[in-house]
Amino acid sequence: MADISVTIHSVFDLIGSMEIRPTKKFSFSVTTTNSSEADAVHLENVRYHVKVEDPAVAKLLVPPTNPDADGTGYKGVDPASGDLVELAPNAEVDEMILYPRATVRGGGPVVIERAGTLGIGDSDVLKLRGQALTAGSTRLTCQVSGEPDVEIPLATKPLDIV
């Protein structure tokens, strides 16, 4: 299978400085690019698991609106139970699972392309925010998951009834 790249871009405070101070909000983006090589595959049900490794130093801010077309909320791991739960917009969290934005296509009747796909040669960019808590160091991580949309050839066999 061809390569799929994931990059977390530079972290800035909300006024554009790369120096993040305690108690200040910051922004960053995550870009995922699917290969355009001959062995690349279209991905469905793409989701981004974004995490801050040391939640005593910083938190992630749940986006204020849900970009998923079918109403699926943002998910996060409940620290007490380990279960996936729906997250409130703007909440401070240690980690969250995000789904890419649906794309509106067409000039006539509106067609919404299924959210959570990453086509061959396509890129998705998620713009995210966080909240610095105290001085210290941590890392932001992003694990992208998805299922290949592979068409399996149709098998046929002649059947003669005599």
In DSSP terms, 51 is beta-bridged to 95, 141
Query: Residue range 7-31: average pLDDT?
Result: 88
Structure tokens at 27: 């922004």
Q: Is the whole model's pTM more than 0.85, yes or no? A: no
Q: How far apart are the first and last CA of the chain?
A: 46
Task: From 41, 104, 51, 59, select the one nearest 75 (Cα to Cα).
Answer: 51
What class has domain 4-148?
mainly beta
Contact call for residues 145 and 49 (beta carbons, < 8 A): yes
More confident site: 112 or 66: 66
Question: pLDDT-based confidence at 21, cuts 50/70/90?
Answer: very high
CA distance 113 to 26: 31
Where do the structural domains in the chain lie, given as residue ranges? 4-148
Structure-block tokens of residue 111: 């067609």
Tell me what percent of the residues of the chain surpass a pLDDT of 70.
80
By CB atoms closer than 10 A (0-12, 13-18, 19+), residue 90 is exposed
Maximum separation of any 2 CA atoms in the chain, in Å: 83
118 secondary structure, DSSP code: B
What is the pLDDT, as a whole number, of residue 109?
47
| Residue pLDDT, tens place only, 42-98 | 888 888 889 999 999 999 998 876 554 445 567 777 767 777 788 888 889 998 888
Lowest-confidence region among 18-22, 73-77, 88-92, 112-116: 112-116
Residue 108 has pLDDT above 50, yes or no: no
Check residue 65 and give its pLDDT: 67
Angle at 119 between CA 100 and CA 101, to 5 degrees: 15
CA 43 to chain centre: 13
